[in-house]
Amino acid sequence: MIAKLLPPGEDLCCEPLTCTRALAVIPVANRPLGAAIRARIEAFDGPVLAQRVDCWLADSCLRALARETAAILVLNGEEMAWVSANGERPAAAPRIQAGEDTFRIRYAWDLLRVNEQLVGALTESVIEGELSDRATVEGVLVLGAGSRILPGVYVEGNVVIGRNCKVGPNCYLRGNTAIGDSCHIGQAVEIKNSILMGDVGMGHLSYCGDSIVGKGTNFGAGTITANFRHDGKTHRSMIDGALIDTGRRKFGSIIGDDVHTGIHTSIYPGRKLWPHTSTRPGDVVQYDITE
């Protein structure tokens, strides 16, 4: 099918990531979201499929749409995609109800769900960089050209690492993690189920779990993103003055571009740091930092 991307809904709430970039260019599995959507659509035969960029279609929905010459996909009463001969909304067409595996990308944490699907679906390692023979890989590793994985690094599950990165020594990388180009992951850092954009520095003895970290951000040594509530309930995050249930039992932080944390910074689950903000050494981030 030929892909046509439609703009997101007006209720998109993906800040602090979308205050510096469009949703379509936010990376998932180390490629822009828009490119990932296009690739999935073009893998199916059929007419032109127009899809909102803030919607992730299940494979079953893509297959159903590919069988139609004109149809409209509806999720919770909203039109998310349609097929037609030219990509324009068909004036009269059957309406297909989306299944439960199709979901809106409305909040920043929804991008983690997309990343989990894409990275988790990888089945074959591709090593273009330098992988130390004293590193351990138990899963699938995609390692970009010019990147180095030093001794003692342990990779568990599926992990994607971009170009010109340095990882280690003695790091623990857990699926489903995507690390962008030109990142430096220092001694004894643990990263789990997270998205790191390009040029991120993650200093030694830090932990990043179930989080998204913007381009150019630097973690001071010992920075920790907490990702689990003591009571085991799902996390909530503040959006426009209201606490929104993320639906996630494990959820860390959403961190914008060019953020700098002081050493030994501790970040409560579900907190967000806006671009160009910073913390002092030993800070405990209990609330979103917007300026």
Q: What is the CATH number of the domain that holds 242?
A: 2.160.10.10
Domain boundary among 106, 137, 166: 106
Q: Contacts from 232-235 at CB under 8 Å and sequence distance 24+? A: 235/269, 235/270
Q: Are 251 and 210 in contact (CB under 8 A)?
A: yes
DSSP assignment string, the chain: -EEEEEPPPTT-B-TTTTTSS-GGGSEETTEEHHHHHHHHHHTS-SSEEEEETTEE--HHHHHHHHT-SSEEEEETTEEEEEEESSSSPPSS--EEEP-TT-EE--BTTHHHHHHHHHHHT--S-EE-SEE-TTSEEES-EEE-TT-EE-TT-EEES-EEE-SS-EE-SS-EEESSEEE-TT-EE-TT-EEES-EE-TT-EE-TT-EEES-EE-TT-EEPTT-EE--B-TT-PPPEEEETTEEEE---SB---EE-TT-BPPTT-EE-TT-EE-TT-B--TT-EE-S-B--
Q: Which two tokens stand for residue 238?
A: 């503040």
End of a domain among 71, 106, 141?
106
Residue at 68 is within a domain = yes
11 inside domain: yes
Task: State how far the Cα of 237 lies from the Cα of 256, in Å rounded to an integer.
Answer: 15
Q: Is there a domain that residue 213 lies in?
A: yes
Whether residue 111 lies inside any domain: the answer is: no
Owning domain of residue 218:
126-284
Find out whether 269 and 228 touch, Cβ atoms under 8 Å. Answer: yes
Q: 291 in a domain, yes or no?
A: no
pLDDT at position 228? 96
How many domains does the chain contain in total?
A: 2
Last residue in a domain, options 106, 140, 174? 106
Residue 167 sits in the same domain as residue 99: no
- Domain shared by 66 and 202, yes or no: no
Residue 290 counted as domain residue: no
**Judgement on whether residues 69 and 135 belong to the same structural domain of the protein:** no
Q: Do the beta carbons of residue 251 and residue 227 sit within 8 Å? A: yes
C-beta separation of 163 from 30 below 8 A: no
22 and 139 in one domain?
no
Is 150 within the bounds of a domain? yes
Among 204, 235, 264, 276, the one annotated catalytic: 204
Asked if residue 220 and residue 85 are part of one domain, the reply reads no
pTM of the model: 0.96
- CA distances (Å), origin 285, targets 253, 264, 273, 288: 10, 11, 9, 7
**Does the annotation count 230 as an active-site position?**
no
Same domain for 135 and 255? yes
Residue 167 burial (10 A CB sphere; 0-12, 13-18, 19+): buried
Q: Other CB atoms closer than 10 Å to residue 121's CB: what's the count?
A: 11
Shared-domain flag, residues 147 and 193: yes
Task: Please check whether residues 146 and 224 belong to one and the same domain.
Answer: yes
Do 185 and 59 share a structural domain?
A: no
Give the pLDDT of residue 100: 84
Asked whether residue 173 falls in the same domain as residue 57, the answer is: no
Would 12 be classed as within a structural domain?
yes
141: CB partners within 8 A, 6+ apart: 125, 126, 127, 131, 155, 158, 159, 160, 161
The pLDDT averaged over each successive group of 10 residues in the chain (291 residues) is: 94 96 98 97 91 96 92 96 95 91 97 98 98 98 98 98 98 97 98 98 96 98 96 96 97 98 98 98 98 93
Do 161 and 259 belong to one domain?
yes
136/280 same-domain check: yes
Q: Which residues of 32-53 are buried (b: 16+ CB within 10 A; e: fewer)?
A: bbbebbbebbeeeebbbbbbbb
